[in-house]
Chain A
Amino acid sequence: MASVKNMIKTFGFPRLIIIAFLGLLIVMMFVLHIPVPLTFSQCLVRIGINMVLALAMVPGIMAGTGMNFALPLGIECGLLAGMISLQYNMKGVGGIFAAMLISVPFSVLAGWAYSQLVNRVKGSEMMVSTYIGFSMVALMCIGWLMLPFSNASIVWPIGDGLRTTITLEEWYDRALNNLFAINILGVDIPIGLILVIGLFCLVIWLFMKSHLGLMMKAAGANPNFAKANGVKVDSMRTVATILSTVLGGIGIIIYAQGFGFYQLYNAPLMMAFPAIAAVLIGGATPSRISIFNVVLGTVMFQSMLAIATPVANSLIPEGNLSEVVRTIVSNGIILYALSRMQGGKR
């Protein structure tokens, strides 16, 4: 009995609730005769396109800057690169990788500038980063209006600025999803997307095992001890912040191609929260994370949302029940993690 209790304790009570909820949703899916292959296809796509955004949480947590609430900073860099790729009509899978490459210098610059702030506000990173993210989104709203983009397909026909939503049909709509895609029992398996995601996971995993990664972990786990052993804690935090921002930028491009459109203006405002919720559901804490946490969390959280949408729609066609469920689950898990964080310290 005690061991069961212990297991629940280590596994975490909210995680059990989410697994139970996920199970319930899958049962409901069969009961309500929702097309299973279609739903599973959507699950796979959602998991794939959200994975890199969740991966962006890894470096920050490793280096002790906590969950990167300033993810919108990286996302804005990715969007800017995406817009440049559309402006110059970069198409297909090549266009996606071009956009990713373009995003890197922006992200490195923004991440470096932001890291200078992060290193000066130790202990309050989460709150400061949230509002840095928010203010960057608002600033880029002005940017989207003012920047000199001219491609007729991406700017408003009348008035100034870029469109709020830009469908990618002309460029690289679902290009990665459809790359090498195969169909097994009616389920579309986006092999290309899975390969790219796997590659990113592998790279980050190798990075975690590398010398730099281990130093970063040391800086996060015990800054004073790390400093005594000659680890430059602030530089580690800088590298982690830059890396996280770069992953955010690449993540949004993968997200957008899988979704089929870029969303500008206020859309990135709340995008950090689902990514944070996913890694927390996967078993990460604000101070400890592994690639396994990221993968498991994204699979669980995104499948839950992907299945909840058709289930909720067939139960109550009006309103957006799955959106409400998403709000409650993602913020609930973050609250739980915050309350545990203090408990762990004492």
Chain B
Amino acid sequence: MMSGEKTNRVGVFLKRQLVNNAVTILFFFICIAGIILANQPMSYIIGEISSRLFRNLILILALLVPVWAGMGMNFSIVLGAMAAQIGIIVSTNFSMSGIACLAVSFLVSIPLSLVFGNLTGRLFNQTKGQEMITGMILGFFAKGIYDLVFMFLCGPVIPVKNQALLLTNGIGLTTPINLDGATKSALNKIWMVSLDKAVYAVLILFLLFQAALFLRRFLLKKEEAKGKKPWGLLIALLALAVFHVACVSSETFLFALRFTDVPVATGILIAVVCVYITFLSKTKLGSDINAVGQSMPIAVSMGIPADKIRIVAIMISTLLAALGQLVFIQDIGNFTTYTAHENVGTFSIAALLVGGASIKKANIGHAILGALLFHTMFIISPLAGKNLFNNAQLGEYFRVFVCYAVIAVALALHAWKSVMAKKISEDPAEEEKHE
């Protein structure tokens, strides 16, 4: 009886894994097919993917905490992006430059994004169960307010010091807003390293970290550690070995890596965000967030102030989104004043979902894998479209379609699953639930 139940469970588990990761697996094949069709030099593809990874990752990581709090994908990270843009507008207004400009922009965006996040959280508490649609509409609404302020009030009502920011008639800000030479990529330019060295460094650090973990476990002789095999250590070793073999055996691969420079400071910033999120999940606040995400009524009955926790989760997310958008803009070097924030939510969410996350479950691994796959598709689909149908536009429409479709499929799958789960739990009792 027990074993039968167990195999059944394993079967269900495998099935669920396949369904959950269907999008990721499909995307993996789309990317491979696209790379073959695009027929581009490896150095170009690797370079583009790496720069997009560093540019977008914090924005994707910003989505994680609200997912843990059971609020789904936070479409309102658009407001965080707006906070970052306001920060840049303010610091550009005072003609700042270089790292100082970015630092001041971030300092300005901190209180803004916290206030925005707080208000968003309050609104979400009014619309429990419909947070995602609320967040999306809130993004559109906030865009209206943002446009009103910067298109019409800046100049006549709000004084602007830097005349270069204003349109020639003195009403509204110009678009796009360009960062000056010293500010563009200021964070990236602190320290650039070629990708092969960076990957070696990361893999060796990972190996050392795993070795330290293993040693600690070995020395402390923890009870639960006895049965465990050192999988982490093995994976780290294997990864390093595979990478080394690939570098040694393939000239083009090594060349492509050497050709690509990665921004170390931005990388460290991303690592700090990852560590912060991991650390957060281990604290009291993190366990409260998880409890609220599991079941709000149970969390409340345990004495956790669920509404407050939800607001905090959104505030963290909005703040990280502001940081992410700042990193994004400094990398590009300019932003279209009125539209740069529009697609932040959609693209980040699609990327996270492609990485295998769901509305209820998301982690740093999903974010990184998603960023890699999604942006590979983003780069190659116009090129593939051009080679396949002699029409680059087609590829561009295709990638937009994929972006929306991924979100639609993920949302539908999740909703379907929760309806089915409800049905299964309700049916045997034959009870009708009255709310």
- Residue on A with the closest CB to B408? A131
Q: Could you mark each residue 157-170 of chain A with 1 if its beta carbon is under 8 Å from any beta carbon of chain B, else 0?
A: 00110000000000
Contact of B407 among A131, A321, A324 (CB under 8 A): A131
Given the known A-B contacts A132-B408, A335-B123, are A138 and B400 also in contact in the complex, defined by CB atoms under 8 Å?
Answer: yes
Question: Is the pair B398, A120 in contact by a Cβ cutoff of 8 Å?
Answer: no
List the B side residues contacting A141 at CB < 8 Å: 397, 400-401
B387 CB-CB contact with A under 8 Å: no
Contact of A120 among B151, B169, B416 (CB under 8 A): B416
A142 CB-CB contact with B under 8 Å: yes
Residues A297-346 near B (CB distance < 8 A): 316, 318-319, 321, 324-325, 327-328, 331-332, 334-335, 338-339, 341-343, 345
Nearest chain B CB to A108 CB, angstrom units: 21
List the A side residues contacting B212 at CB < 8 Å: none
Question: Is the pair A145, B393 in contact by a Cβ cutoff of 8 Å?
Answer: yes
Q: Which candidate, B139-147, B280-288, B328-336, is the interface stretch facing chain A? A: B139-147
B432 CB-CB contact with A under 8 Å: yes
Given the known A-B contacts A127-B133, A131-B408, are A339 and B148 also in contact in the complex, defined by CB atoms under 8 Å?
Answer: no
Question: Is the pair A121, B419 in contact by a Cβ cutoff of 8 Å?
Answer: yes
List the B side residues contacting A123 at CB < 8 Å: 129, 415, 418-419
B95 CB-CB contact with A under 8 Å: no
Given the known A-B contacts A126-B130, A342-B129, are A224 and B434 also in contact in the complex, defined by CB atoms under 8 Å?
Answer: yes
CA A338 – CA B419 in complex, angstroms? 21
Contact of B141 among A325, A335, A341, A343 (CB under 8 A): A335
Nearest chain A CB to B389 CB, angstrom units: 8
Nearest chain A CB to B118 CB, angstrom units: 16
Nearest chain B CB to A331 CB, angstrom units: 4
Question: Majority SS of interface residues in chain B?
Answer: helix
A90 CB-CB contact with B under 8 Å: no
Question: Is the pair A341, B130 in contact by a Cβ cutoff of 8 Å?
Answer: yes
A178 CB-CB contact with B under 8 Å: no
Nearest chain B CB to A123 CB, angstrom units: 7
List the B side residues contacting A69 at CB < 8 Å: 133
Question: Is the pair A335, B147 in contact by a Cβ cutoff of 8 Å?
Answer: no
Question: Is the pair B133, A130 in contact by a Cβ cutoff of 8 Å?
Answer: yes
List the A side residues contacting B391 at CB < 8 Å: 145, 159-160
CA A332 – CA B416 in complex, angstroms? 30
CA A120 – CA B143 in complex, angstroms? 33
Nearest chain A CB to B399 CB, angstrom units: 9
Question: Is the pair B151, A135 in contact by a Cβ cutoff of 8 Å?
Answer: no
List the A side residues contacting B167 at CB < 8 Å: 318
Residues A207-231 near B (CB distance < 8 A): 224
B172 CB-CB contact with A under 8 Å: yes
List the A side residues contacting B404 at CB < 8 Å: 131, 134-135, 137-138
List the B side residues contacting A128 at CB < 8 Å: 408, 411-412, 415
B138 CB-CB contact with A under 8 Å: yes
List the B side residues contacting A137 at CB < 8 Å: 404
CA A319 – CA B172 in complex, angstroms? 8
Given the known A-B contacts A121-B412, A342-B126, A342-B129, are A130 and B136 also in contact in the complex, defined by CB atoms under 8 Å?
Answer: yes
Contact of A324 among B147, B412, B415, B432 (CB under 8 A): B147
Which of B415, B418, B434 counts the most chain A CB atoms within 10 A?
A: B415
List the A side residues contacting B211 at CB < 8 Å: none
27 A-B pairs with C-beta separation under 8 A = A122-B415, A123-B418, A126-B133, A127-B132, A127-B133, A127-B136, A135-B405, A138-B397, A138-B400, A138-B401, A141-B397, A141-B401, A142-B394, A145-B391, A145-B397, A146-B394, A273-B140, A318-B167, A319-B172, A321-B151, A327-B140, A327-B141, A327-B144, A328-B141, A338-B133, A338-B137, A342-B128
Residues of B bordering A, CB below 8 Å: 123, 126-130, 132-134, 136-138, 140-141, 143-145, 147-148, 151-152, 167, 169, 171-172, 391, 393-394, 397-398, 400-401, 403-405, 407-408, 411-412, 414-416, 418-419, 432-435
Closest 10 CB pairs of A and B: A327-B144, A121-B415, A138-B401, A131-B408, A328-B144, A331-B141, A124-B415, A135-B404, A141-B397, A134-B404
Residues of A bordering B, CB below 8 Å: 69, 117, 120-124, 126-128, 130-132, 134-135, 137-139, 141-142, 145-146, 159-160, 224, 273, 316, 318-319, 321, 324-325, 327-328, 331-332, 334-335, 338-339, 341-343, 345
In the complex, besides A122-B415, A339-B126, 6 extra interface pairs with C-beta distance below 8 angstroms are A122-B419, A319-B172, A324-B147, A327-B140, A331-B138, A345-B435
